Each structure stands twice: as C-alpha cells, then as structure tokens.
Structure 1
Amino acid sequence: MTPILSRRHWLALAAAALAGACANAPAPQDAQRPPIVFVHGNGDSAALWTPTLWRYESQGWPRERLHAVDFPNPLARDDDGVAQPGRSSAAESAQVLAAEVDAVLARTGARQVVLVGNSRGGLAIRNYIRNFGGAAKVSHAVLGGTPNHGVWSNPGFRPNNEFNGAGPFLTALNAPQGPNGDEVTPGPAWMTLRSDGNDKFAQPDGVWIGARGTPTNVTAEGPALKGAKNVVLPGRDHREVSYHPEAFAQTVAFITGRAPQGTAITPEAAPVLDGKIAVNNLPVAGASIEVFVVDPATGARRGPAVHRKTVGADGRWGPFTTRPTAHHEFVVSAPGAATAHVYRSPFPRSSSTVHFRPERLADADKDAASVVTLTRPRGYFGLPRDRIVFDGNPPPGIPPGVAGLAASKLKLRDSGRSVVAEFSTAGISERLAGIAWPAAENRVVVLELQD
C-alpha cells in the first residue's frame, strides 16, 4: 500500500510525466478531463463534494463535466431486503447511479465517466459496475473509506444489512472475478483510499456501531480490495479519505497519470450560489431562506438581507451572486422546523450544491438560552490530532482517540452575543463566528465548517 504523496513528490511526478510525453499522447481535452460523477455516503448529500468540485475546476476541469449526485432517502435500510420508510436499498442506490451516469454521458457526449465515491457511495459504484451494466461505461472508480468488507462481519448480527461483511450483499459483491480472482469487476481501473486506523467504520471493536467490546472481525484494511490500487492516507478519518485535499491529489494523479499542481482553490470574481432545502435529499416546498453578509470577526450582520426566497417544488433557493471574500449567515425556515441560522465561511467559487436541511430544537435543549452547534460535514473532529476551540474552550462531547464525531453542541445560558469557533488540521484551517440567537424563539445556530 502506498503512502500519500508529498508536495515534492507531486512535482517530481508531474515533471516525469511531462518529460515522458510523446507525440502520440492524448491531445483532446476529453482525454485529460473526463466527466466525473461524485457519489456521497450514507445519509449524506452532494453538498459534501462542494470544495472538491472547486479543486477540480481550479485544475482546469470544465464545470459541466463535474456532477455530484443526490441520492433520495440516502440512509441504508436496517435489512436490505425489507422496505423501510425514508431509507433505500443497495439496488435502489445502484439504479439511481445508473440513471445519473447515462444522463452525464448523454449531456457530455463522452463514452465513459469516472466515478468517485465516499463510504456507502463506493458500494453503490461497485454494485452498479458489477450488476447494473456499468463496467463498459466507467473508466476509473475511486472508493474512499468504503466498507468493502463490512463495518462488521458477523452472520448473526443484523445479517441482511448492507454493511455486514458476512451478509449476502457484500459476500456476493466480493466474490472473485476475472482470471486473477479479483474482488473488483474487470474493465475499470480501481483505487481505494483508506486510513491507517483512524476510520471509525474500520475498527476491530464495535464501539461505533453501539457494541463496545464486541469484535467486528474488520480491521483498518477493510476498505482495501484485491485487484485495486490500495492507498493509505495516514491519520485521515472516514470522510477525509474522500474529501480532504490529500484525497483529491491522489485521485487526480490516478485519473490523469500526473499529480495536480496543488490543491488550492482559485477564486472567481462573482460566485453564483444555489442549492436545495431538503430532507432526505427530497425538496421541502414552501421553505424559505434569507441571506446576510456578516462581520467575519463577530458574525454580526452588515446590513439587510441580500437575498430572500420561498422555495418551490424543486427546493432550489438560489441563484444568489456574492463576493468570494464574504462571510454569510443563511436563515432557513420550514414548516414544523426551527429557524436555523447557519454561518458559513466565504464561497470562493460558484456552486449549485449549497444544500440546507431544516433543523429542529431538541426537547433536551429547550432549557438553554441559546443552542450553538459546530459541525464539520466533510470530516470528523479528532483529538489530539486537530486543534479545536469553541467559544474559548475545548469542544464539548468530543472524546480523544479515533475521529468519529462531526458535531459539537453548546447549550448557553445567555444569548445575543458572538460565538467563535476555530479549527485546524493538516492542510486546513478555518475560523467561524456567529450570533447566539435565543432558543426561546425556536431558533438554532449552526457554525458549519467549509472544508
């Protein structure tokens, strides 16, 4: 297994690739910039790929050749063979992906796509390629943190669950294929990205599935597959092996044969933002949004709303044009939900995947003057790996050890003041500020980290 490339090695690889270029190297842009379909994980949405999409655009990928899919009802069923409200089966995910691939091929005129998936999204990719006609339509498949051998492997525990390595779904998916008896379907080039022990869903103990002290029969090598290029990203967590800049660098090198020039995002002069207000990735008609530009130091509003909209049947809340240096407060309201004040760092580039989910004020939090949550959708908080300061203190509820929680909640005794969060980990640093709005008015506050 190969460790992550350093920047020096990136440059060396790029130089070697250029030196070896010959007259008959692929010239058309399509050969170097194939269409890519990004596939999110269990319970997630296309929004998690937003900074990744920006990085590809900054490396010259045309925006119209980058597509992030939203699975309806993205949580897996408890029993894959039994219908469950608000959840989807492995077959349903693969069928949605098949339709998305066909749509992207039709739109771009390409013969094949690249598929890049996180966690459950990687299982949908494998299932689509093996069982739903995808092998001829996919040139490369990249699986980040995918539990290819299960989150657990025990025929007596939730035996028909999609994530059981001893269950029927993964047993069939991992059955040997091709002349070498590989676990991957012949045709596409395959790569897996995994952690070296910091993935909450590749642990020998069942603590993260509610079974502390019970062996899972799964190790850190669970995401690796025979027949794939298996790459380790040391210290990265379950989501970072897909969404971290290191994962981006590895994926670009795998797809193109050359390392990217870096992982920085190139700003646009006037980013245009859009997305959905949705529950289970299904639009919430009648929800509304207000957008304010705020002081980055305090979260205080710098004037009246710069955008307002009540969404229609498609749930789309934009388009909204902003500046690449502006900090924002998004106020999201929906029937039966609390009013959510979501604070975000600047958006350096345009995006159509700025999604919001209506929030609720939990009964256990109604005694607080204000409830403020710090969330990191594209990674987990890891202590002592990360530096995290939340309202001047360590984040409550985050234990040391394996990075496994993406949110920390403050229940404040006061309201109306500024709350600041600071976060840094390898290659990422961010500071967010918001106002502690009163819970008594059925309001919640979210400080959402961008990367």
Structure 2
Amino acid sequence: MTLSHITRLTRRTALLLAAAALAGCAWKPAAQAPAAPQRPPIVFVHGNGDNAALWMTTLWRFESNGWPRERLHPITLPYPLARDADDQPQPGRSSSEEARLFLAAEVDAVLQRSGASQVVLVGNSRGGIVIRNVVAAGGAPKVSHAILGGAPNHGVWSSASFRPTSEFNGAGPLLTRLNNQGGAGIEITPGPKWLTIRSDNNDKYAQADGAWIGAKGTPTHVSFAGPELKGAKNVVIAGIDHRETAFGPQAFAAMWRFLTGSEPATTRAVPEARITLAGMLSGAAVDNLPLAGATVEVYATDLSTGARLGAALHRQTVGADGRWGPLVTTSKTALEFVVTAPGHAITHVYRAPFARSSDLVQLRAARIAVDDRDAPAVVTLTRPRGYFGIPRDEIELDGLSPPAGIPAGVAGVSTAKARLADASERAVVGSFNGERIVGRSWPTAGNHVVFLELHD
C-alpha cells in the first residue's frame, strides 16, 4: 500500500469518526423516566444501505415496556453500503474495517455518556456482521449481550469464484475469520451472551437459490439456517422476512426475553398524547450524509383525504448537520413532509400518526426515476422495516390489491408503485395489514414525487 493510499484511508477514517461524534450530539426527546441502573444502554446497528430510522418502532416497543429512552442509542453509519470487494476502495461505500471503527467509537461514546460498564449491541443484516467484527477485535469486555437479526453469518452466498472478498461471501476472509474463533463447534467470540434471530424459510438472503442476488438458478451454498451461530442461542420465527428478524414485534419479544428473562408486557407502541418529532435530512445518494440547505415543511393532513389542514406546522432550512425539528404535535395527527432541495424532486412523504416521540424521522430528498418521467403522476407505497409478501400480507395501493410488481413467494421487495392515469390532484390510499395511509397525488411534470411510508 502506497503512502497516498494510507493518507486517503486516514482521512476517510477521520471523517467517519467525526460523523460518529456528530451523531452522538443529535437532539434527543426528553426522557420519560430516570435511567434504571438495571437496564444497560443498547446500541442499535442497521443493515446494508439503511439508517437508524428503521429502529423507530423497536425503540417505541422498548420504551413502552419501561426501558429508559435515554438508554436506547440507534446509530446511522455513513456510506452504509458495503463494497463489492472489501479490500478494494469503492466510491460511496464503506469497508468492513471502516464500519467497525465507526461502531467501536460509538460504543465508547455511549459508555462514557451513560457511565455504564457494558452495552448491549443489536444489529440487523450487515449490522450483525459489524457487531461481530467489533466484538472480535477486542470489544468483548465492553459488550454484555449481542443480538443479531437476519445477519448473514454464513454469507448470502459462499463461493471462491463470485466476489471472493465480499463481506457477504461465506467463503470470504471476513466471515471465515469470524466463524473460526472459539474452537471446535463454536462460532462466536467468547464473553458476551449471543442471540441470533432468523426466519424459518422467508429470509431473502438465506436462500439456496441465488434469485435474490441476481443469479437465479445458481446455488448459493447457503441454507435457511445461515444466520445461526454455533455457541449462540438461536431463535427461529416462522414466516418473518429478512428485516422483520430485527424490526418486527416477534423479534422484539425474543430480544426482550433474552435480555430480561421475562415476557414483554406489550409488543405494541403505547401512544403518547403529545409527541416531539425530529430527524436528519439526506440526499438521494445512499450515503447517509446531511443535505445542507434543503427546506423541510410539515403539514397536518386529513386522515380520510390526505388534504392539508391549514398552514405548515413546521418550516425549516436545514444547516450543515442536516438536522430538522423539533416539531411538537399529537399522536392522532397524520402528517405530510415536503422536502425541497436543489438537484432533487419536490418530495412528499405521507405518514400515518406517530404513536410516540422520535428523533429518527429521517427524510431523504428523492429524484424521479427514469422509467416514471412519462407518467402523469406516481405514488409509491414503501415499507422500510420489512418486505411485502404474497400471499402472506394484505396490501393495497390505489384500489389494487395486491399492487403490481410484488412477486409471490419469498418476501423481498419493500416498495409498490402506482402510475396514475392523469395528473389531477386526488386522494391515494395505501394499506398494509391494517395500517392505512392516505396521501395526495402530485404531477410528475411539476417535478414531484410522492411516498406513502408505513410505520410497520
């Protein structure tokens, strides 16, 4: 490695660590109760291409069962997509080592702020691999429990010929090292208590066929049990998808039992009458970096028509940190978020009422997809915390049930799109297993994109 390579890596690592420090300074809603000493801080780590917002409903469930809000720490990794080859720089993506350094720094910051001696680490998908890497690289004394939901612990594929150095290759150097630490029959780093949560057969990244990695008909050499680890407590939940292994109510119940030895009082979010919302705004690129100078507007909307109820509740041009908010509202108020940013479409995001306060209302300025530019209007139903499954789920968008574009079988897509026949403004309804959102159509010709975003 040349001196210039080392210099670039050093600068990149410094940027990642600086982002970790900035994330730790983000506004937090007021705590509901003093920190209970018996409840350790929990650090939540999202998966490939995701952000901390996916943990919103999981945090609500922990809070609703009495875990102190100030001891729940979801993090957002910059450059959240893994490299195709872990040992080769790739613009806009991070290596396993960069992700490890970021999480390790955040663990140290949480320990310092909380005064605790250990943290709990909870991760989904790639986040589970990052957790394992941190623990294996000397972090074990700082971690009491490690919970991995849907982590591809034996790879999404296992092959010496296809992307041999990828983080997601079970035969690659990273997973080979992590799976050979504890002696014969043990695949975990000794010290913390380990839990894995997996689907019985509905995880798109634990399939014997390569259909979900673009290689249909090619064996992956990975089984449904790929997320399990020898030496861990391994829990199997029937029917759940890849994301639901971490973000779903059944996964939460498994986490709670593992951490407390008892059943949770509820797996639902107990509503708060008055709530405070805030978050961060990023651009269309999947880098989780703040989009300074963009404008955020928030409107209350009619639950049955999606129409705005008066003037904006909140209007703000975000600064260098990308933070927006706080907005104080009620848990019975449906909302429309509007993001306006140079180089992006005017982005409208409709949400059903938020049950509880959150500083994880992450917004992303979007662009109109090339294939949608000729459509009068387009509305997308999106489910960030899980996938749509046919026939498992009841899904409807603009009167079509199920919407077009959702394949039957293994749940693997998180969006459904309706291309409207005209550009007239009207109500558009989306629903998923009982959760209902009503938004409004906006014309593509006016550079508008519309999302109906589900909580669950």
TM-score (norm 1): 0.91
Instruction: Indicate which of 100, 120, 125 corresponds to 2:126.
Output: 120
Deviation at 1:164, TM superposition (A): 0.4
- Which residue pairs with 1:392 in the alignment? 399
> What is the CA–CA distance in structure 2 between the aligned matches of 1:234 and 1:36, rounded to whole Å?
26
- Which residue pairs with 2:265 in the alignment? 261
> What is the CA–CA distance in structure 1 between the aligned matches of 2:102 and 2:428, rounded to whole Å?
41
Q: Deviations over 1:56-78 (max 9, x none)?
A: 11111111100001000000001
> What is the CA–CA distance in structure 2 between the aligned matches of 1:257 and 1:89, rounded to whole Å?
36
- Which residue pairs with 2:379 in the alignment? 372
1:282 equivalent in alignment to 2:286: no
> What is the CA–CA distance in structure 1 between the aligned matches of 2:164 and 2:68, rounded to whole Å?
44
> What is the CA–CA distance in structure 2 between the aligned matches of 1:377 and 1:262, rounded to whole Å?
22
- Which residue pairs with 1:231 in the alignment? 235
Instruction: Specify every segment of 5 or more residues in structure 1 that has no aligned partner in the other structure, as ranges.
Output: 1-27
- Which residue pairs with 1:140 in the alignment? 145
Alignment of 1:285-296 (within 5 A): 285-296=292-303
Is the 2:36–2:68 contact (alpha carbons within 8 Å) kept by the matching residues of 1? Answer: no
Is the 2:197–2:246 contact (alpha carbons within 8 Å) kept by the matching residues of 1? Answer: yes
1:410 equivalent in alignment to 2:418: yes
- Which residue pairs with 2:431 in the alignment? 422
How many residues are treated as equivalent by the alignment? 417
Is the 2:64–2:266 contact (alpha carbons within 8 Å) kept by the matching residues of 1? Answer: no
Deviation at 1:29, TM superposition (A): 3.0
Instruction: Indicate which of 152, 161, 170 corresponds to 2:166.
Output: 161
> What is the CA–CA distance in structure 1 between the aligned matches of 2:322 and 2:213, rounded to whole Å?
33
- Which residue pairs with 1:6 in the alignment? none
Instruction: Indicate which of 250, 262, 278 corresponds to 1:246.
Output: 250
Amino acid at match of 2:346: T
- Which residue pairs with 2:318 in the alignment? 311
Cα RMSD (Å) of the superposition? 1.0
Q: Deviations over 1:202-250 (max 9, x none)?
A: 0000000000000000010000000000000100000001000111111
Q: Deviations over 1:115-161 (max 9, x none)?
A: 00000000000000001x21000000000000000000011001111
Local SS of the residue matching 1:101 = helix
Deviation at 1:345, TM superposition (A): 1.0
The percentage of aligned residue pairs carrying the same residue is 62
Amino acid at match of 1:138: V
Q: Which runs of 4+ in 1 moved over 6 A?
A: none
> What is the CA–CA distance in structure 1 between the aligned matches of 2:321 and 2:404, rounded to whole Å?
37
> What is the CA–CA distance in structure 2 between the aligned matches of 1:372 and 1:300, rounded to whole Å?
15
Deviation at 1:269, TM superposition (A): 2.4
Is the 2:167–2:174 contact (alpha carbons within 8 Å) kept by the matching residues of 1? Answer: yes
> What is the CA–CA distance in structure 2 between the aligned matches of 1:168 and 1:376, rounded to whole Å?
33
Q: Deviations over 1:377-434 (max 9, x none)?
A: 000000000001111112110011000000011111113111101110xxxx300110
Amino acid at match of 1:423: F
- Which residue pairs with 2:329 in the alignment? 322
Alignment of 1:353-368 (within 5 A): 353-368=360-375
Instruction: Indicate which of 185, 209, 212 corresponds to 2:216.
Output: 212
1:439 equivalent in alignment to 2:448: no
